[in-house]
Amino acid sequence: MDTGGYGVLLTVTAEGGTEIDAAFSYLGPCASLDEARDRAESFAQDWLSENIYR
């Protein structure tokens, strides 16, 4: 089903390549790929702040 818009899948891996966690976020409709990339980067930074850098 195509809902329109963009989504981002964040995969967190250890130095050796072992997957530690994964998170998905629907970014919604974006005016451009650049906007989607900015939203994805913001999501990743927020996720890191909430889950890693406590």
Distances, alpha carbon 49 to alpha carbons 3, 34, 42, in Å: 29, 23, 11
pLDDT-derived band at 54 (thresholds 50, 70, 90) equals low
Q: Tokens 């966690």 sit at which residue?
A: 21
Q: Are 37 and 47 in contact (CB under 8 A)?
A: no
List the beta strands (DSSP E) in the chain: 6-13, 19-28
Task: Judge whether 16 lies within some domain.
Answer: yes
Number of structural domains in the chain: 1
Give me the pLDDT at residue 20, please. 87
Give me the pLDDT at residue 2, please. 58
Task: Judge whether 1 lies within some domain.
Answer: no
Task: Judge whether 37 lies within some domain.
Answer: yes
Q: Are 5 and 26 in contact (CB under 8 A)?
A: yes
Q: Which domain holds residue 39?
A: 6-51
Task: Judge whether 17 lies within some domain.
Answer: yes
pLDDT-derived band at 1 (thresholds 50, 70, 90) equals low
Task: Judge whether 44 lies within some domain.
Answer: yes
Task: Name the DSSP class of 32.
Answer: S
pLDDT digits (tens, 9 = 90+) for 3-40: 678 999 999 898 888 988 899 999 999 999 999 999 99
Model-level pTM? 0.77
Task: Judge whether 46 lies within some domain.
Answer: yes
